[in-house]
Copies of this chain bind each other. A is one copy, B any other.
Amino acid sequence: MSYSTQMEAARQGILTEQMKVVAAKEQIAPEKLMQLLAQGQVIIPCNRLHTALQPNGIGASLRTKINVNLGVSRDCQDLDMEYQKVKAAVEMGAEAIMDLSSSGDTRAFRRRLTAECPAMIGTVPIYDAVVYYHKPLRQITAQEWLDIVRMHAEDGVDFMTIHCGMNRETAARFKRNKRLMNIVSRGGSIMFAWMEMTGEENPFYAHYDEILEIFRAYDITMSLGDACRPGCLADATDSVQISELVTLGELTKRAWDKDVQVMVEGPGHMPMHQIAANMEIQKTLCHGAPFYVLGPLVTDIAPGYDHITSAIGGAIAAANGASFLCYVTPAEHLRLPNAADVKEGIVAARIAAHAADLAKGIPGAADWDYQMSTARKNLDWEKMFALSLDPDKARRYRAEAQPEKEDTCSMCGNFCAVKNTNRILDGEIVSIFDE
């Protein structure tokens, strides 16, 4: 091949197989897609060793994508069982799986993902380094941190969260500017702790060019981690968050200089009225790189329902420019999610993504709703189920409460506005009781 990354190919005017697949899926002209890739406004994360991948694009003009976090953990070290969860998540519509494995044989699981899973695979090398070396944190060397990145690259990972924005300057600003929730990013807090204990610069920042070379060689997408994302409404859009974003914008340009694809991770917890402004600020500071949001959760007070608080924030973020939503489950802030939580989280994220796509006018998005409402107007229940985001739940709900008449539901029965209006417009008599 005469190019290293999709970005380099686009810049050279080469239409890759991945671009063709994505352009067809997105109902976008291949030339337009290529232009967006060349400018960094769209990414196609695709490690050349991830042969099972069915590529997807993320970014401007494309359908909003969702990510699901899974992985082996202290609670579930059974690789097969965890892989079944991954398969289920992909079937439910997740375009990406982030493997946050934090216990056991993390490498075997990661390799299984890139050997078998058609969704793009992301990882956070910081977590895995802590598991892999299994020694006191401060004894991990700068070289060892980087070795983990290289290992993940060889394992076929499509994108990695690299917490290089948490450098000594960011750490100093964080300590100067008091926040309520401090650091809530797992990787960010580990790197902050490591820097505080060793006195050294963040190796991901210090050796950023070396990481870019690795990423370029495999075509891995850089996901710039937001170590200082706000962990509560009171910290949202503060100086610590925004100044880290300034650094991430600089790192974006450095990656693009080497044709490395980039996305930027975002908040977090954030009141509704700040979300659109954050999307605008990200666009300018990070030069339009795709924005990957973790929420945002629009209130702190609903543990057990953070799939809803984040669906509200995610929908607003995506409608205002974010391209990629990390799912949040009802278990957020409380425990590791179980299978039911994962499903709830995926459905909520897909609702947010689709609602935003309708608002953004993404080609084809409104057709789905039009078909559903046509089925609804015709009281065609089988078609409504088939078109539902979760056909099983829709079918079960209706089956659990028998309606008076087969064509209505138990909510309104003979009062059904749809049925009665259809009949009147057809010149029939509507009497509600005497039929």
Contact = CB atoms under 8 A, between A and B. Distances in A.
A369 B232 contact: yes
Interface string A79-104: 00000000000000000000000100
A368 B234 CA distance: 11
Interface in A387-435: 387-390, 393-394, 397-398, 400-401, 403-404, 409-413, 415-418, 420-425, 429-434
Given A409-B333, A411-B335, A180 B374 contact: yes
A390 B186 contact: no
A358 B233 contact: yes
Nearest to A235: B373
A192 interface: yes
A183 B309 CA distance: 31
Nearest to A411: B336
Contact of A234 (B234, B373, B409): B373
B189 A421 contact: yes
Given A234-B370, A336-B401, A312 B355 contact: yes
A200 interface: no
B348 A305 contact: yes
Given A232-B369, A415-B127, A197 B429 contact: yes
B415 A377 contact: no
A153 interface: no
Contact of A351 (B134, B312, B370): B312
A315 B429 CA distance: 40
Nearest to A334: B397
A102 B415 contact: yes
A418 B181 contact: yes
Given A192-B421, A302-B347, A352 B409 contact: no
Contact of A196 (B319, B376, B398, B424): B424
Contacts of A217: none
A271 interface: yes
A130 interface: yes
A35 interface: no
B185 A299 contact: no
A304 interface: yes
A389 B305 CA distance: 9
A305 B420 contact: no
Contacts of A302: 347, 351, 388-390
A307 B134 CA distance: 44
A232 B385 CA distance: 16
Interface in A299-319: 299-305, 307-309, 311-312, 315-316, 319
A75 interface: yes
A232 B196 contact: no
Interface of A: 74-75, 102, 127, 130, 134-138, 175, 180-186, 188-190, 192-193, 196-197, 231-234, 269, 271-273, 298-305, 307-309, 311-312, 315-316, 319, 330-338, 347-348, 351-352, 354-356, 358-360, 366, 368-370, 372-374, 376-377, 384, 387-390, 393-394, 397-398, 400-401, 403-404, 409-413, 415-418, 420-425, 429-434
The 6 closest A-B pairs by CB, nearest first: A232-B373, A189-B417, A304-B393, A335-B401, A273-B359, A272-B359
